[in-house]
Homo-oligomer: A and B are copies of this chain.
């Protein structure tokens, strides 16, 4: 049904080698035959079989992407950046949702490998030794996006989370806040948990603010409801706080929702700063002030790095830390004026 190179060759009265040549190196064949072949290709609607090509070239122009939870807004922009960069370099993306589940992650890696993808982008999650072993076995380049590894030399693209958290807290301090709470991911999370806590605490320290971490930090998962629940606990044990740093926009919205429900005015009575600058930050009320990550660009750069690696080129930088910045909107009150 789908026509093959043989069909084209037959119709154009040439060998399949010649057909192959007009596809890969047209100048090398005589005008006469070339035209005939081109016409046959047109008439048969012939399109080369990428499997056969891939088998020979050991290159599929396909990249695998592992995402922990694809329904999270965070990945929408990241994936778009990857998609655009992939499209630009002639690659396609196979996206695997791993559901934060080790088995599914490993099995995804296995089928990606069987499908001979040229490289892998691994997002968000920390790299544990067993994952690293699997990576090595795969035998294809890997780039980390929105995560990194200090133990292993794997190229990565992310923001400096410690510094970003520092900047968020300092921003609040500069606005006159001294009793600042934090809603964070787990301290056991070496990517977006611990470093942000460290940055937050460093800012307090730097500015001589003496706050007991036990009291001013509360933990929760990254969903809206987790933020809501966490801030309920935090507010109970730290009622005098005037500002709050929630380390994801979704968490921040959960907090704001809690405040709305309890008639606590944002930002009049409490200020909130989020993290990520996903699209919702500009769509909610009041609009969320937040630490922006260049998500689209991170996705883009991750793919570009991967493509470079696949082509055997070297990277200027193993671990790239992209600039973050603060987007001032409406949820932080300036106490200094």
Contacts and interface: CB of A to CB of B under 8 A. Distances in A.
A107 B61 CA distance: 15
Given A72-B76, A92-B111, 10 more contacts: A50-B111, A62-B94, A71-B76, A71-B79, A80-B97, A83-B96, A87-B97, A257-B283, A260-B286, A284-B284
A279 B76 CA distance: 13
20 contacts: A49-B116, A50-B111, A51-B60, A52-B55, A62-B94, A70-B76, A71-B76, A71-B80, A75-B76, A79-B95, A83-B95, A87-B97, A92-B112, A224-B283, A253-B283, A253-B284, A256-B285, A257-B283, A283-B284, A284-B284
A114 B48 contact: yes
Contacts of A284: 253, 280, 283-285
Interface string A253-279: 110110010000000000000000001
Interface in A270-300: 279-280, 282-287
Interface in A215-264: 224, 250, 253-254, 256-257, 260
A45 interface: yes
A87 B70 contact: no
Interface in A129-157: 137, 139
A1 interface: yes
Contacts of A260: 285-286
A13 interface: no
A308 to B, nearest CB: 20
The 5 closest A-B pairs by CB, nearest first: A83-B97, A50-B114, A71-B80, A50-B115, A253-B283
A47 interface: yes
Nearest to A330: B260
A318 interface: no
A113 interface: yes
A250 to B, nearest CB: 7
Contact of A51 (B55, B79, B80, B257): B55
A84 to B, nearest CB: 7
